[in-house]
């Protein structure tokens, strides 16, 4: 009787824990969904997505793209500079070369947008994080020396997660962006008004309201009141614009967008934007993020820009007759990343000498068909155009330009219709007559443009185009898939699935073994082979379930991880130093500071990687391998010991990042100590 009661009691206990977990989750994320009434949210869901009667479609007219330098505007974006005090490779050097060489040649972009991670904010070992005034001063000095700050409305920057590592609040002294940044405010919103149209640029700061030190600061979030402000801004009809660009540091994939108080989601309000521009992911790793760009289902383009830090990439965008084109270009360096910081030029404290710059080409007509947005752009203008239009920036005079259409040389003359470099709005426009009807066969074509300057430096650009206004497949492969994915949803679902599977599997096995203590699988040993895999698997789970110490410790560890905080730590060490309270609780559902919840998603990521995979999955598998064997095989023992040491080292790293408290108050420490002891106990008994 006594033997069966405890396992049966696990059923109500588990149900209770799930119930509590659900409530904790609701509480932790409540600021993303405050006062969203159920009724209203149903009403709003009908208003999206774009319908064909949407105003953006009604302005398409018959302006012809010809050979005149009209209806044209260009600007630039850079991202993830990571100006660092300690990192000598890339980073700072790339940014300095961008200012010293690229800006003077591109000359008059309407403005430059910087989508976050201005500074690196990591220590010399790249483990802990804090804001360094030197890094911010370098940023400011470089901008001053380049003259960028003398041009009103020229430089627009946003904070990234690195700029809010270890920053207690917007008002904190540690928020150096407030002092050394250019915008010095949370986000920006400006309109470029030209006689041919109005273009709106809205930048949002989705940093956590209290900037936790790394590593729990990778995901951004945008709460209900932020969403309300954004929705009001975007939907304000009196601010109608031909295109609205939304700028953010975080891609949508790594931002928790809450709902507006009317219940609208980010997808609902995204119908007002044409392009979402962001950074943050660099190029990921192993070639997974070479082109993190996608066309979102609600008809906007999401264009992540690779970093300045390692990849030395900058972007030029042009809006030509309301068609948006862009090119992502590498800095003209001999090596990328640059190993040694450049010496400063005479008369400057940080800015280096200008380097050689080969011509850069951006084809604005025909626009690259992979990025056509027929709900936002007058795509018919391509078919009705009379000229191919190119923007070519070069340091020296251009001597030769060749155009190839589908591999055949285009024999029409290429004429300069731009203005002088000395003009205020320098637009280096080249045009060449063409007949787009020749390509109107609902197929893809390609155009190659080659330019050579008088120093013999060459530039080349290849663009896929269609003249029927249909979008081409983006061919982004895995990158396109990844950027279109809701990472938070994937991580959360995987964790919930993994956790429930482990819990239920253990519970049912325990109950089964309790009532069938003499099941043959518990008594007969199998040699693992593909044929007996299923039997072996069940034998191992039966064996583990019938070891009370192992079973109950693991089971309670699993339940505690969804119902109790995992540890207490100095989440914002700088705040603690300043005498404020930066001590917080880490829960699966977010971080709690002074009893206030921050819906920081990184806790889920940590839970999945560190707990579910390495602290639970690997341990279970290891015990499965060694249970039932007559003798402990040495190599498995060594493997387990290595895993144990490694888990220990990850706890030590946590202590470096969030203080020793993070070890002494940690459930994982208990679990780690336990199975170190249990392993030894099993070995010698
Ligand atoms: C939510 O609603 C309650 C009352 O219904 C109100 O007191 C509170 O201020 C609201 N909160 C926000 C953020 O609007
Ligand atoms: C279209 O263009 C023609 C000639 O260029 C002009 O006469 C006509 O008014 C235009 N129509 C509209 C709707 O702009
Ligand atoms: C911008 O929108 C206005 C209003 O719809 C329209 O008249 C104008 O032609 C557009 N500009 C361009 C370059 O298409
Ligand atoms: C729309 O924008 C205009 C101009 O900035 C402002 O005066 C007006 O109050 C805004 N309307 C709403 C509903 O936010």
pLDDT tens-place string over residues 475-517 = 889 999 999 999 999 999 999 999 999 999 999 999 998 888 8
Q: Are residues 468 and 514 in the same domain?
A: no
Averaged pLDDT for residues 570-594: 87
Q: Are residues 501 and 536 in the same domain?
A: yes
Residue after which a domain boundary falls, among 463, 484, 505: 484
Q: Which of 480-489, 551-560, 621-630 has the lowest mean pLDDT?
A: 621-630
| Per-residue pLDDT, 567 | 94
Give 529's pLDDT tier (boundaries 50, 70, 90). low
- Asked if residue 94 has pLDDT above 90, the reply is yes
Give 35's pLDDT tier (boundaries 50, 70, 90). low
- Asked if residue 605 has pLDDT above 70, the reply is yes
Q: Are residues 521 and 588 in the same domain?
A: yes
Q: Are residues 71 and 174 in the same domain?
A: yes
In a domain, residue 220? The reply is: yes
Q: Are residues 285 and 392 in the same domain?
A: yes
Q: Are residues 9 and 85 in the same domain?
A: no
| Per-residue pLDDT, 45 | 45
Answer whether 59 contacts ligand 3 (Cβ < 6 A): yes
| Per-residue pLDDT, 410 | 96
Which residue CA neighbors atom 14 of ligand 1 most closely?
35
Q: Which of 32-41, 47-56, 224-233, 485-494 has the lowest mean pLDDT?
A: 47-56
| Per-residue pLDDT, 38 | 55
In a domain, residue 53? The reply is: no
User: Which of residues 234 and 522 earns the better pLDDT score?
Assistant: 234
Ligand nearest to the CA of 191: 4
Averaged pLDDT for residues 423-437: 95
Q: Are residues 560 and 492 in the same domain?
A: yes
| Per-residue pLDDT, 62 | 72
Averaged pLDDT for residues 308-330: 96
Q: Give the pLDDT confidence of 563-573 residue by residue, as tens digits.
A: 999 999 999 98
Residue after which a domain boundary falls, among 484, 512, 544: 484
Q: Are residues 470 and 496 in the same domain?
A: no
| Per-residue pLDDT, 548 | 86
| Per-residue pLDDT, 60 | 56
3-class DSSP state for residue 157? strand
Answer whether 155 contacts ligand 3 (Cβ < 6 A): no
In a domain, residue 307? The reply is: yes
Q: Which of 196, 237, 385 to mutate to test the pocket of ligand 3 (most atoms within 8 A of CB)?
A: 196
Q: How far is CA 260 from the centre of its chain?
A: 22
Q: Which of 101-105, 180-184, 320-324, 621-625 has the lowest mean pLDDT?
A: 621-625
Answer whether 30 contacts ligand 1 (Cβ < 6 A): no
Write the DSSP symbol of residue 373: -
Q: Give the pLDDT confidence of 215-244 residue by residue, as tens digits.
A: 999 999 999 999 999 999 998 878 889 999
Averaged pLDDT for residues 304-323: 96
Q: What is the CATH number of the domain that holds 227?
A: 3.60.21.10
| Per-residue pLDDT, 629 | 57
Distance CA 434, CA 437 (A): 9
Give 621's pLDDT tier (boundaries 50, 70, 90). confident
Q: Which of 58, 61, 62, 68 to mutate to test the pocket of ligand 2 (most atoms within 8 A of CB)?
A: 62
Q: Which of 229, 239, 240, 244 to mutate to test the pocket of ligand 4 (most atoms within 8 A of CB)?
A: 239
Q: How far is the CA of 414 from the centre of ligand 2 (A)?
A: 28
| Per-residue pLDDT, 49 | 39
| Per-residue pLDDT, 51 | 42
- Going by their DSSP bridges, the two strands 567-570 and 583-587 should be labelled as antiparallel
Mean pLDDT of the chain: 89
Nearest alpha carbon to residue 481 among 292, 283, 250: 292
In a domain, residue 52? The reply is: no
Q: How far is the CA of 35 from the centre of ligand 1 (A)?
A: 6
Q: Which atom number of ligand 1 is nearest to the Cα of residue 224? A: 13
Give 426's pLDDT tier (boundaries 50, 70, 90). very high
In a domain, residue 310? The reply is: yes
In a domain, residue 663? The reply is: yes
Answer whether 241 contacts ligand 3 (Cβ < 6 A): no
Distance CA 117, CA 102 (A): 20
Distance CA 345, CA 352 (A): 5
Q: How far is CA 511 from the centre of its chain?
A: 44
Which residue CA neighbors atom 2 of ligand 1 most closely?
35
| Per-residue pLDDT, 453 | 95
Nearest alpha carbon to residue 291 among 479, 482, 80: 479
Q: Give the pLDDT confidence of 353-381 residue by residue, as tens digits.
A: 999 999 999 999 999 999 999 889 999 89
Nearest alpha carbon to residue 393 among 103, 110, 100: 103
Q: How far is the CA of 121 from the centre of ligand 3 (A)?
A: 43
- Asked if residue 684 has pLDDT above 80, the reply is no
Q: Which atom number of ligand 1 is nearest to the Cα of residue 261? A: 14
Q: Give the pLDDT confidence of 399-420 residue by residue, as tens digits.
A: 999 999 999 999 999 999 999 9
| Per-residue pLDDT, 414 | 96
Q: Which residues contact 151 (CB under 8 A, 6 or more apart)?
A: none
Give the per-residue SS3 of 193-262.
Answer: EECCEEEEEEEECCCCCCECCCCCCCCEEECHHHHHHHHHHHHCHHHCCCEEEEEECCCHHHEEECCCCC
In a domain, residue 639? The reply is: yes
Sheet bearing 567-570, strands edge to edge: 567-570, 583-587, 590-593, 596-598
Q: Which atom number of ligand 1 is nearest to the Cα of residue 35? A: 1
| Per-residue pLDDT, 48 | 39
Q: How many CA atoms lie within 13 A of 346 on its CB side?
A: 0
Give 624's pLDDT tier (boundaries 50, 70, 90). confident
Q: Are residues 79 and 214 in the same domain?
A: yes
- Going by their DSSP bridges, the two strands 220-222 and 255-257 should be labelled as parallel
Structural domains in the chain (count): 2
Q: Are residues 507 and 412 in the same domain?
A: no
Give 52's pLDDT tier (boundaries 50, 70, 90). very low
Q: Are residues 381 and 499 in the same domain?
A: no
- Domain boundaries, position 443: 38-47+58-484
- Asked if residue 301 has pLDDT above 70, the reply is yes
Distance CA 304, CA 282 (A): 8
- Asked if residue 43 has pLDDT above 90, the reply is no
Answer whether 34 contacts ligand 1 (Cβ < 6 A): yes
User: Which protein residues are within 6 Å of ligand 2, measured from CB?
Assistant: 61-62
| Per-residue pLDDT, 50 | 41
Structure tokens at 444: 């893809």
Answer whether 322 contacts ligand 3 (Cβ < 6 A): yes
Q: How far is the CA of 260 from the centre of ligand 1 (A)?
A: 13
Q: Which atom number of ligand 1 is nearest to the Cα of residue 34? A: 13
Which residue CA neighbors atom 11 of ligand 2 most closely?
62
Q: Are residues 562 and 435 in the same domain?
A: no
Distance CA 359, CA 361 (A): 7
| Per-residue pLDDT, 537 | 81
Cβ-based burial of 530 (10 A; exposed 0-12, middle 13-18, buried ≥19): exposed
Contact in structure between 295 and 66 (CB atoms under 8 Å)? no
In a domain, residue 168? The reply is: yes
Residue after which a domain boundary falls, among 421, 451, 484: 484
Which residue CA neighbors atom 7 of ligand 3 most closely?
59
């Amino acid at each position: 009787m006594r033997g069966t009661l405890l396992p049966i009691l696990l059923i109500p206990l588990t149900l209770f824990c799930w119930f509590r977990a659900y409530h904790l989750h609701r509480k932790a994320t409540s600021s993303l969904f405050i006062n969203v009434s159920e009724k209203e949210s149903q009403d709003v869901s009908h208003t999206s997505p774009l319908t064909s009667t949407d105003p953006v479609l009604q302005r398409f007219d018959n302006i012809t793209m010809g050979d005149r330098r009209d209806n044209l505007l260009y600007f630039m974006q850079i991202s993830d500079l990571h100006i660092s005090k300690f990192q000598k490779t890339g980073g700072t050097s790339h940014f300095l070369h961008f200012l010293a060489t690229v800006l003077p040649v591109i000359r008059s972009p309407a403005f430059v947008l910087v989508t976050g991670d201005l500074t690196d904010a990591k220590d010399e070992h790249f483990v802990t994080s804090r804001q360094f005034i030197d890094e911010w001063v370098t940023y400011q000095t470089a901008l001053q020396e380049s003259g960028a700050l003398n041009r009103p409305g020229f430089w627009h920057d946003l904070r990234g997660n690195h700029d809010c590592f270890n920053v207690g609040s917007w008002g904190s002294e540690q928020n150096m962006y407030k002092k050394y940044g250019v915008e010095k405010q949370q986000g920006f919103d400006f309109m470029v008004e030209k006689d041919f149209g109005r273009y709106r640029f809205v930048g949002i700061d989705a940093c956590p309201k209290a900037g936790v030190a790394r590593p729990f600061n990778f995901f951004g979030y945008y709460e209900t009141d932020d969403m309300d402000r954004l929705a009001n801004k975007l939907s304000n009809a009196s601010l109608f614009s031909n295109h609205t660009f939304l700028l953010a540091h975080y891609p949508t994939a790594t931002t928790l967008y809450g709902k507006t108080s009317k219940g609208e989601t980010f997808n609902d309000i995204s119908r007002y934007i044409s392009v979402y521009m962001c950074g943050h992911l660099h190029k990921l790793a192993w070639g997974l993020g070479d082109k993190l760009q996608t066309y979102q289902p609600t008809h906007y383009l999401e264009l992540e820009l690779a970093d300045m830090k390692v990849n030395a990439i900058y972007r030029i965008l042009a809006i030509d007759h309301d068609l948006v084109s862009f090119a992502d270009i590498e800095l003209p360096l001999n090596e990328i990343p640059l190993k040694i910081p450049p010496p400063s030029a005479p008369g400057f404290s940080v800015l280096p000498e200008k380097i050689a710059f080969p011509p850069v080409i951006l084809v604005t007509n025909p626009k690259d068909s992979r990025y056509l947005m027929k709900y936002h752009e007058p795509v018919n203008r391509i078919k009705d155009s009379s000229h191919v239009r190119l923007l070519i920036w070069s340091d020296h005079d251009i001597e030769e330009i060749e155009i190839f259409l589908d591999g055949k040389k285009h024999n029409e003359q290429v004429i300069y219709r731009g203005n002088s470099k000395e003009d205020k709005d320098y637009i280096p426009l080249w045009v060449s007559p063409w007949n787009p009807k020749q390509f109107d066969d609902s197929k893809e074509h390609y155009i190659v443009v080659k330019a050579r300057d008088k120093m013999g430096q060459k530039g080349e650009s290849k663009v896929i185009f269609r003249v029927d206004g249909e979008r081409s497949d983006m061919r982004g492969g895995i990158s396109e898939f990844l950027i279109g994915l809701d990472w938070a949803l994937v991580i959360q679902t995987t964790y919930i699935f993994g956790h429930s599977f482990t819990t239920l599997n253990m519970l049912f096995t325990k109950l089964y073994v309790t009532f069938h203590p003499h099941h043959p699988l518990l008594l007969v040993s199998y040699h693992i082979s593909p044929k007996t895999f299923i039997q072996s698997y069940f034998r191992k789970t039966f064996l583990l379930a019938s070891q009370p110490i192992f079973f109950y410790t693991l089971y309670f560890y699993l339940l505690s991880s969804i119902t109790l905080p995992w540890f207490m730590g100095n989440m914002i060490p700088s705040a603690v130093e300043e005498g404020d309270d930066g001590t917080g609780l880490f829960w699966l559902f977010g971080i709690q500071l002074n009893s206030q919840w921050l819906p920081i998603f990184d806790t889920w990521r940590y839970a999945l990687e560190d707990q579910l995979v390495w602290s639970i999955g690997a341990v279970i598998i290891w015990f499965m391998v060694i249970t039932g064997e007559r003798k402990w095989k040495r190599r498995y023992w060594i493997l387990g010991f290595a895993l144990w040491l490694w888990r220990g080292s990850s706890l030590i790293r946590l202590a470096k990042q969030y203080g020793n408290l993070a070890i002494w108050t940690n459930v994982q420490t208990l679990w780690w100590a336990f199975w170190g002891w249990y392993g030894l106990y099993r070995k010698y008994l």
